[in-house]
Amino acid sequence: MSNTMLTISEITYEALMVLENEIVFTDKVNKEYDEKFGIAGAKIGYTVNVRRPARFKGTVGPALNVEDFVESSVPVTLTTQFHVDTQFSTADLLLSMDDFRGRLIKPAVAAIANKIDFDGTTFAYQNTANAVGTPGTKPTAALTALTAKAIMDSEAAPDDGERSILLDPFSMISMADALKGLFNPQASIGEMYKKGLLGRDTLGFDWYQSQNIASYKVGAQGGTPVFSTSGTSSALITSGWQDNGTLYTTGWSASTNVVNVGDVIQIAGVYAVNPQNRSQWGSNQLRQFVVRPAVGTPSNGTFANVLNGLGQVVGGAYTSDSSGNLQLTIAPAIISAGQFQNVSAAPANNASITVFGSGGAYSPQSIAMHKNAFTLASADLELPDGVHFAGRAADKQTGLSIRVVRQYTINNDAIPTRMDVLYGWASLYRELACRVAG
């Protein structure tokens, strides 16, 4: 009997299945797969706009008071094309699928899955303002997780079985030790093998461990920073909705890297409010804001991107000017009235600013979140002509798409193969997540 050679279709769909099984963080978020590029293929830079539902205040009494219908949207840009390049022989195609998966597909796709997950957790901490714990200190008490839950409850996060908490390995062992006996057994034998799953519905979350939790270094801080009305602050609005904006601050140590992208700040007198009833929540709980990459050039101070070894922007650093002034970009915007009100009041001039964590602390940023806090957008890449073989597989339910292309190269008499994904991350509702500092 002649041996049967594996086809490109079999290889591509097997690669997609392995990818779906290897992701952890990405498996817990909303995913948007755009199939409109099924023929032509998508390109880096394509943007998908994901709608956010409208929000209303309502009116007391019989008089009609028609509110504007404000339906905002979040742009999701396909920013990253990541691929693993390898080669296999025609003889390898005669292997059984189990052998081919173990030797060739799984190692390559694992690298892709880890890249997507790590990009996701990096994006998450840099876009999440709510935070609990102490940067530089592992969480060791149930109160940490319960506080994250209380914040998410106060932010009107749905309690619908879609809440997860993902911890780095060292935070997980400290919390597992503190919560001995609380982790519930999985609902079924199949779930026992779900990657990273350690406990179901414990303290309001499904608990997962991930080695791809991103870490960052808190800015050096210094000085006595305050909000100042002497400069431009586009983050302050009284109606409508916007994602982020600038905040003009003074009083920092001069010419110092005072804050980094991902730092969390609070402003005196600016309290968090519930998005539905607009009342303050907690016991005088100040609204937290996350420092975002600069939009344009700051009016005062400077901003510099931080790159990784692949040349990707993975962070940023703000440096105050020689007078200690600095214009930051923060999120969320400070919305003091209207349908999307999120604070009790706009900050007063010279309101003091505090930064979450000690200057220079290095901290893994584990995260508690609802599924709709973040979204991963993926789309089909173009299938090239004139190659040995090319195929792709996509799954609308998981929101993932992968392409496999194999082609002979005359330069070195080899047949390299590449596996590509195209994706982008966005924040749908950052208020539905809470960082857990470690």
Walk along the chain (438 residues) in steps of 10 and give the mean pLDDT of each run.
55 73 88 58 72 60 65 79 82 61 74 93 98 97 96 94 95 86 54 58 90 96 98 96 96 98 98 92 92 96 94 94 98 95 97 98 98 89 88 79 86 83 91 97
Other residues' Cβ atoms within 10 Å of the Cβ of residue 426: 22
> How crowded is the C-beta side of 198, counted as CA atoms within 13 Å?
22
Classified as helix, coil or strand, 402 is strand
208 within 8 A of 198, measured Cβ to Cβ: yes
Give the pLDDT of residue 179: 81
Cα–Cα distance between 117 and 115 in angstroms, integer? Answer: 5
List the 223-227 sheet strands across, edge first.
Answer: 223-227, 245-252, 326-331, 286-292, 264-271, 353-355
Cα–Cα distance between 423 and 378 in angstroms, integer? Answer: 4
Q: Detail the DSSP E strand segments found in 102-181.
A: 131-133, 163-167
Cα–Cα distance between 138 and 333 in angstroms, integer? Answer: 30
Cα–Cα distance between 56 and 73 in angstroms, integer? Answer: 16
Give the pLDDT of residue 143: 95
Cα–Cα distance between 296 and 52 in angstroms, integer? Answer: 26
**Amino acid at position 404, single letter:** V
Give the pLDDT of residue 39: 47
Q: Detail the DSSP E strand segments found in 272-399.
A: 286-292, 302-307, 313-319, 326-331, 334-335, 353-355, 362-370, 374-379, 389-395
Q: How many residues in total does the chain contain?
A: 438
32 within 8 A of 372, measured Cβ to Cβ: no
Query: Minimal CA–CA distance to 228: which of 255, 253, 246?
Result: 246
**Range 306-313, long-range pairs (CB < 8 A, 24+ positions):** 306/261, 312/80
As beta bridge partners, residue 426 has 375
Give the pLDDT of residue 65: 64
Query: Minimal CA–CA distance to 26: which of 115, 158, 102?
Result: 115
Query: Minimal CA–CA distance to 268: which of 282, 287, 249, 252?
Result: 287
Give the pLDDT of residue 343: 97
Give the pLDDT of residue 414: 74
Cα–Cα distance between 203 and 143 in angstroms, integer? Answer: 10
Cα–Cα distance between 433 and 4 in angstroms, integer? Answer: 49
Burial 202-229 (b: 16+ CB within 10 A, else e): bbbbbbbbbebbbbbbbbbbbbebbbbe
Tokens 């028609």 correspond to 66
pTM: 0.87
Domains of the chain: 7-54+74-219+360-437 (3.90.1690), 246-356 (no CATH)
Query: Minimal CA–CA distance to 225: which of 199, 247, 193?
Result: 247
Query: Minimal CA–CA distance to 178: which of 212, 217, 216, 133?
Result: 133
Rg (C-alpha) for the chain, rounded Å, is: 24
DSSP-assigned letter for residue 10: H
292 within 8 A of 127, measured Cβ to Cβ: yes
> How crowded is the C-beta side of 405, counted as CA atoms within 13 Å?
16
Please name the residues in contact with 101: beta carbons below 8 A apart, sequence gap of 6 or more. Answer: 14, 18
Query: Minimal CA–CA distance to 330: which of 263, 275, 389, 375?
Result: 263
